[in-house]
Amino acid sequence: MLGDLPIQELAVFALALAGAGVLSGLLAGILGIGGGAVLVPVFYQVFGLLGVDEAVRMHLSVGSSLAIIVPTSLRSFSGHYARGAVDMALLRSYVLAVPAGVVLASLTAAYISSEGLRIIFAVVVLIIGLRMLFDREHWRLGTQVPGNPARSIVGMMMGFLSTLMGIGGGVMNNTFMSLYGRPIHESVATSSGVGVLIAIPGTIGYIWAGWGNPLLPAASTGFINWIAVALVIPITIAVAPYGVRIAHALKKRQLELAFGIFCMIVSARFFASLL
């Protein structure tokens, strides 16, 4: 498949993946997210360029993104944990709920259509973009993060939606914690741990969901393409610590605005692909 492409298109392919890797690693550290909101649309375009069948292209993009988020989130989490910024009590309370949502999403991924995945991605990314653009520090639902069963329900929904989108759940957890007055750095740090709880079982789930699918390209195990993973992972691992430093050194409002605009563009692109 790669051999059928001219050198110019191969160069664009490599540059697009490298750029996605840099953005993914930075976002993992800065915003506590796995970078899937960047990786999935890039993979979707690249796999289309490579001639991957539309029926599996979105599934492959989401699964490969989750596989890349595993080391990215681990690296980001270790950096934040070393700074003592992670709310380990909250993270431990997610240990069952978040993976439970991941399992449900993996079962869904085995049967949902490409169009269904794109609709979910477009809608949630649109909501994320609006939240980034219009978020206000004074928006609050309370002064303490609620306990169970509300916390478990939120954790399960984070795991479910994030796994169907190929993201690390950081934006959702950041929003949840910030609505209850938790400091932004603590929210970002804890979200990196949520990414670990989502990405590891999610990767296994997407391997199972796509196992034996005849439409998958070479070097794929289920809905994970290891060529894409191998190209991007070293970049994200190298860049993530710089994102952590930025997160602890700068105000993030400008970054949130830029990421919000990016989300709006990506959402519009996926909605257009459904027409």
One digit per residue, the tens of pLDDT, for the chain of length 275 reads: 554 556 666 676 677 777 777 776 777 666 656 567 778 888 888 888 778 899 999 999 999 999 988 888 888 888 888 888 899 999 999 999 999 999 999 999 999 999 999 999 999 889 888 877 887 666 677 778 888 888 899 999 999 999 999 888 877 888 888 888 777 778 888 988 999 999 999 999 999 999 999 999 888 999 999 988 888 888 877 877 777 677 667 666 766 777 778 788 888 988 988 87
With tokens 């605009």, the residue in question is 261
Count H helices, E strands: the chain? 11, 2
pLDDT at residue 16 in the model: 74
pLDDT at residue 138 in the model: 63
pLDDT at residue 67 in the model: 93
Residues near 129 by Cβ (< 8 Å), separated by ≥ 6? 259, 260, 261, 262, 263, 264, 266, 267
Rounded-to-integer distance, Cα 14 and Cα 117, Å:
25
Residues near 168 by Cβ (< 8 Å), separated by ≥ 6? 28, 33, 34, 35, 36, 69, 72, 73, 162, 191, 192, 194, 195, 198, 199
My answer on whether omega of the bond before 149 falls inside 30° of 0, hence cis, is yes
Domain containing residue 155: 2-273
pLDDT at residue 222 in the model: 96
Rounded-to-integer distance, Cα 81 and Cα 68, Å:
20
Rounded-to-integer distance, Cα 20 and Cα 5, Å:
21
pTM: 0.83
pLDDT at residue 269 in the model: 83
**Token representation of residue 257:** 């605005």
Total domains, the chain? 1
Residues near 102 by Cβ (< 8 Å), separated by ≥ 6? 159, 160, 162, 163, 197, 198, 201, 202, 205
Residues near 274 by Cβ (< 8 Å), separated by ≥ 6? 115, 118, 119, 122
Report helix, strand or coil for 95. Answer: coil
